[in-house]
Amino acid sequence: MKKKKSNLSAKRGRVGTLLMLVILLQSFGIGVSRAQSNDEPRLTVEFSEAPFIDVINYIKRHTKLDFLFNNEEIQKIPAVTHAFKSVPVSQVLQACLEGTEYTFRLFQNMIVIQKRQKTLEPVTVRGKVLDERRMSLPGATVIVKGTSIGGSTNDQGMFVFSLPKMDTIYLLVSFVGMETQEVAITNFAQEVVVRMKSDTKEVEEVVVTGYGNVRKTSFTGNSVTVSRDELLKVSKTNVMKALEVYDPSFRVKTNNQWGSDPNALPEMQIRGQSSIGVKDLDRNTLSKSALENNPNLPIFIMDNFETTIQKVYDMDPNRIESITILKDAAATALYGSRAANGVVVITTVAPKSGEVRVTYNMVGTISMPNLNDYNLMNARQKLEAEVASGMYEAEGEDFWFKKIRIEEYQGKLKNVREGVNTYWLAKPLRTEFNHKHSLYLEGGNEEFRYGIDLGYNNENGVMKGSYRDRIDAGFSIYYTTSKVQVSNYISYGVTKEKESPYGEFSQYTKMLPYERYKDDDGKMLRILQWSRVLDFEPYNPLYEADLGNYDKGQTNVLVENLSVNWFIKPTFWVKGELGISHSTGKREAFIDPLSVKNNLEYGDDRTNVGSLTLTNTEYTSWEGKLAISYNESINSHNINVGGGLEVKTTRRRTNTGTYKGFQSAEFSSPEFARSMPYKPNFQEVQTRLFGMFARLNYSYQDIYLLDASLRIDGSSEFGSDKRYAPFFSGGLGLNIHKYAFMEKYGFVNHLKVRGSFGQTGKVNFAPYAAVPTHEIDIDEWYISGPASSLMTTRGNRDLKWEKTNKFDVGFELGLLRNLLYLEFSWYNEITNGLITDVTLPSSTGFRTYKSNMGKVENKGFEIQFRSDLLSTVDWYVAVFANLAHNTNKIKKISDALKAYNDAVNEYYNQEIESLWDKDNPNLNRVMTKYEEGQSLSAKYGLKSLGIDPANGQELYVYRDGTVSYDWIATEMRNIGDEMPWGTGSFGVNLRWKNITFSTSFLYEFGGDFYNETLIDKVENAKIEEYNVDRRAMSQRWKKFGDVVMYKDIKDNRQTTDPTSRFMQRNNVLSWNSMTIGYELDREMLKRIGIENIRIEVGTNDLWRLSTVKAERGLSYPYANSVNFSVNVRF
């Protein structure tokens, strides 16, 4: 009877409490857990000496019931030995608790375990959740630990609900981007205040590989993940520039030629150079934007689909959620024949559910030309240098020539005395204000979400007339049910670009400062002062800029990405993806009929002056994937396995036509041309790829880790006899910090060791290099058709992919809750089957064909360090530093590369044998040759002993030790390596209340740099024709016994061939970025309907220190920039 009375009382109490709880929760916006059905679950189970906690866990797994209990008390209940067959849950618990001092009570769908004497009394829990800045945090999730009871905070960050009274109740409070807080409540009469902390490691919890997400704790691959906030701390506009700060192995190569040109695409590498790429003899024909076939570029994946470097270069960093750089085989092998150079995986921002939210971001940038590396003479210095060089000496000449020299000198001196001192470097340059805008609108509910993004980026270069403008728009939707998830993103972008009509910057560095560029009436001079001494008539580059010359282009890109997930079970799903990308491009390059460039090509023939070159391109890519995934935790086993199929096809069409003979720049359309001297050139390239892949990620007790992957690629780019390529990887790891014995070493919160080995590949050749190709002769036609078909390339049906074997080991160490965090990796990567040209006998009709011959090794190490020195509500102080070291070595080369080395020797010999070309500046170029045992970035020349004090001539040392004054090409050797010994970055991140500060520095050391400035502008300075470096007059040999760096200035017509005398050690430290930010008070902003406003001021490329003093930005100067940004969220 007592038992029945007790049950009846419990039921009445439950109903009353439930009504009160529903009223309270509805009043304060907290969702109510669904009540248990009257049909009590039945269980069939047998327990044998099972701890009571196992009984609870079994009931939770087989019912929808939650439990509330005290952990310490539950340990006192003795082990259970019972068998049950189709027994209600209540009877199971009664039997298990019989004879103990504990009982249970059913409260909604929650079972409370407590001592028998206590009565069930509800208590009300009230509290408020604040962020780091002590502002209220709406939408935070608050639940009772071990249960599903709870809800979300309201607009004021408040929560309130009722529970059965316990001695202690534990709450778990969570919010996206913040660490989950556990709060113990013992005093229920007091309001709870919970302060959240930012989770700086949140984005690192999952590694995004593009073929599925893997928990970082169980991943054995080598990867670096960078969040959007981290990117924006370094650069608001340039994603590539930001990435190299966070990964020392990701390096953007210094481009001394194109500097800050907004239309020059950056060239980058991950872990060094594994292929030969563009040879020095072919580099003159390389476009500054032609990186599509660069064999050392990584591949870029955006939202699981491959994309182009142009798309990434133009991308707004605000659209990025995170970027993951995959480096070793365990991380990249799933990409098969495309992964040898590493993979950059980009995840864009997905819309969030809730009320409509609008985010607007504006970045204003002031770009200023950086001319710190130029050290040119002014007008007076230049004239004095001409006198010292003997330009106006006339020994042995007749009176007429002496008179010409004197008159020319007096004319120049007159200009100097009248104050003519033209600073030509400033003429084509400007300080420019650029602005970038982005707008993102998102909203929806848990089932349907949408997002709209709009962007505009106006980027004018520091050379007048150059720009790159981008307009983008995108629309994304996410539809989710219990079984299906569909996402779709469509975007359209337009990029317009134009080159500066002022031409290359290098021509302004040569102009003479005592020259006038306008006549007495203020009109621009076409030709500057004629030098009768040199019979030299320099043209005025500023006159060219005022003509109708132009070089401009436009690219339109449409992208459609569709993804469908079918969840057969919560742990098993099928995913299908389809991506379509279509782009069209048009480029127009026009030369005004009045341009001096026409005279250089046609002389006095005025009928063909003026030209227009039109280039149209069309690119289409289709990519589809079908994959299955299974991810489940079974006891101590975590299994993540998947596999699938992938197909991809690309087609690129290019059509180029040239028109000549225009009467005026005002009529520059093709119909106004006099002729079309060349037939239009049309090219079409098509590729197809088919791949099958499988992957496994497994961990046991989250301690023992295993990764394995396998991929088979079939490609139309491979030879017909080598159509399919297998790739694989395997990785092992150990989470040592999760061993039980590590608990006594509390200062070690993370210690992981890992290692991997595998094989990846890349296709480093033109799509049709594997098959013979023909060209139809359309110059002659018969009635039956074209006259002939010519074989243009000899294909190699055995041609296959380059294979790279990657071995990687490392560890991760975190001490004192990441007060100190250290990551170390050592790797060895060997590329076999290097694609090179093989020399053929002339009788075949072809000089070379492609074959797999050659081997290159890259090995080195990487160190990442960071420290969270201080982390409180008001303060956050963190520092970071990293270092990468890579060595590169050629293990084997082909006969064709040996022939190329001979061609380099022949190039120098031919130039030297010609007396007319003895002063050819091309002889100054130091080139790369390819020798076994040397680096791909090694530079070759003769070893020098310096200038002989006896006669002012340079002394060389041959390979056998012989000393001579004669420069011989066959005696060239490795005189330096451009690859630095070490590269890296370091920086600081600070926050004090609402104010943030971050700064970063880049460094490199141990590399060599061939200083061509000292050759062109100092030793071999053409003082008679061009302006020169101020150092041209110092350290010159003049008389016997002078120990100096340079030859006699009167010997400057003698070209200096490649020599170690000008190879210098290049150590660089640059202040890369600095940003100061302030976030306005949120409580104040809420009164005017604004959620958040953040203001930042920053700068990039503040200064650069180098051990080498050389001109940089030869065709386009570098720039410094100051930026400010405003981010507003409604």
Please state, in angstroms and rounded to a whole number, the distance separating the CA atoms of residues 458 and 471.
Answer: 9
Same domain, 177 and 45: no
CATH number of residue 132's parent domain: 2.60.40.1120
What's the mean pLDDT in 459-473?
Answer: 96
Question: Residue 442 above 70 pLDDT?
Answer: yes
Same domain, 858 and 761: yes
- The percent of residues in the chain predicted with pLDDT above 70, rounded, is 85
Structure tokens at 633: 């935790």
What's the mean pLDDT in 275-288?
Answer: 53
Q: Which domain holds residue 484?
A: 361-368+427-501+547-1020+1055-1129
Per the prediction, the chain carries an average pLDDT of 84
For 79-88, 289-298, 550-559, 784-793, which range has the lowest pLDDT when averaged over its residues? 784-793
Count of domains for the chain? 4
What's the mean pLDDT in 444-467?
Answer: 94
- 795 vs 972 pLDDT, higher one: 972
Q: Is residue 8 part of a domain?
A: no
Q: Is residue 28 part of a domain?
A: no
Structure tokens at 295: 């064999």
Q: CA angle, 1025 as apex, 1023 and 1027 as ends, to 5°? A: 60
Last residue of a domain, one of 81, 115, 149: 115
Q: In this predicted model, what pLDDT tens digit does every residue of 362-375 receive, in sequence order?
A: 999 999 999 999 99
CATH number of residue 69's parent domain: 3.55.50.30
Question: Residue 133 above 70 pLDDT?
Answer: no
Q: In this predicted model, what pLDDT tens digit does every residue of 12-27 receive, in sequence order?
A: 344 344 334 333 333 3
Q: Is residue 85 part of a domain?
A: yes
Same domain, 492 and 580: yes
For 208-212, 316-320, 502-506, 659-663, which range has the lowest pLDDT when averaged over its residues? 208-212
What's the mean pLDDT in 649-661?
Answer: 93
CATH number of residue 941's parent domain: 2.40.170.20
- 814 vs 33 pLDDT, higher one: 814
Can you give the pLDDT at residue 255? 81
Same domain, 153 and 246: no
Q: Which of 173, 166, 158, 157 is nearest to 188 (CA)?
A: 166
Same domain, 459 and 333: no
- DSSP designation for 645: E
Last residue of a domain, one of 115, 146, 173: 115
Structure tokens at 20: 């009160």
CB atoms closer than 10 angstroms to residue 932: 13
Given the DSSP bridges, would you call strands 192-195 and 122-130 parallel, antiparallel or unpaired? parallel
Question: Residue 1048 above 70 pLDDT?
Answer: yes
- Report the length, in residues, of the chain: 1130
CATH number of residue 328's parent domain: 2.170.130.10
Same domain, 67 and 147: no
Q: Is residue 390 part of a domain?
A: no
Q: Tell me, rounded to whole angstroms, the distance of Cα 540 from its chain centroid.
A: 41
Given the DSSP bridges, would you call strands 973-977 and 122-130 parallel, antiparallel or unpaired? unpaired
Q: Is residue 672 part of a domain?
A: yes
Amino acid at 684: E
Q: Is residue 72 part of a domain?
A: yes
Q: In this predicted model, what pLDDT tens digit does every residue of 766-808 receive, in sequence order?
A: 666 666 776 666 666 666 666 566 666 666 777 777 889 999 9
For 926-935, 958-967, 982-991, which range has the lowest pLDDT when averaged over its residues? 926-935
What's the mean pLDDT in 889-917?
Answer: 68
Same domain, 994 and 1070: yes
Identify how many contiguous H helices and E strands the chain contains and give both numbers: 16, 52
pLDDT band at 292 (very low <50, low <70, confident <90, very high): low
Question: Residue 3 above 70 pLDDT?
Answer: no
C-alpha distance across the termini of the chain, in Å: 63
Same domain, 229 and 128: no
φ, ψ for residue 666, nearest 5 deg: -75, -15
Same domain, 159 and 239: no
Q: Which of 713, 714, 725 is nearest to 852 (CA)?
A: 725
Same domain, 841 and 727: yes
- 1064 vs 283 pLDDT, higher one: 1064
Residues paired with 183 in a beta bridge? 171
Can you give the pLDDT at residue 148? 64
Can you give the pLDDT at residue 597? 79
What's the mean pLDDT in 978-984?
Answer: 95
- 847 vs 240 pLDDT, higher one: 240
Can you give the pLDDT at residue 854? 79
Can you give the pLDDT at residue 10? 38
> Is the model's pTM score more than 0.95?
no
Same domain, 297 and 160: no
Q: Tell me, rounded to whole angstroms, the distance of Cα 2 from its chain centroid.
A: 73
Same domain, 86 and 131: no
- 999 vs 144 pLDDT, higher one: 999
Q: Is residue 703 part of a domain?
A: yes
Question: Residue 9 above 50 pLDDT?
Answer: no
Q: Which of 252, 254, 273, 72 is nearest to 170 (CA)?
A: 72
Q: Residue 607 belongs to what H/E stretch? A: none
What's the mean pLDDT in 1027-1035?
Answer: 88
Last residue of a domain, one of 195, 211, 234: 195
Q: Is residue 665 part of a domain?
A: yes
Q: In this predicted model, what pLDDT tens digit does every residue of 733-766 receive, in sequence order?
A: 999 999 989 888 888 989 999 999 999 988 766 6
- The percent of residues in the chain predicted with pLDDT above 90, rounded, is 45
Please state, in angstroms and rounded to a whole number, the distance separating the CA atoms of residues 682 and 679.
Answer: 9
Q: In this predicted model, what pLDDT tens digit does every residue of 684-731 receive, in sequence order?
A: 888 899 999 999 999 999 899 999 999 999 888 776 677 888 999 999
Can you give the pLDDT at residue 288? 54
Q: In this predicted model, what pLDDT tens digit does every residue of 345-395 receive, in sequence order?
A: 999 998 988 788 999 999 999 999 999 999 999 999 999 988 888 888 766
Can you give the pLDDT at residue 1003? 96
Question: Residue 924 above 70 pLDDT?
Answer: no
Return all residues near 254 (Cβ < 8 A) that are at least 6 apart.
Answer: none
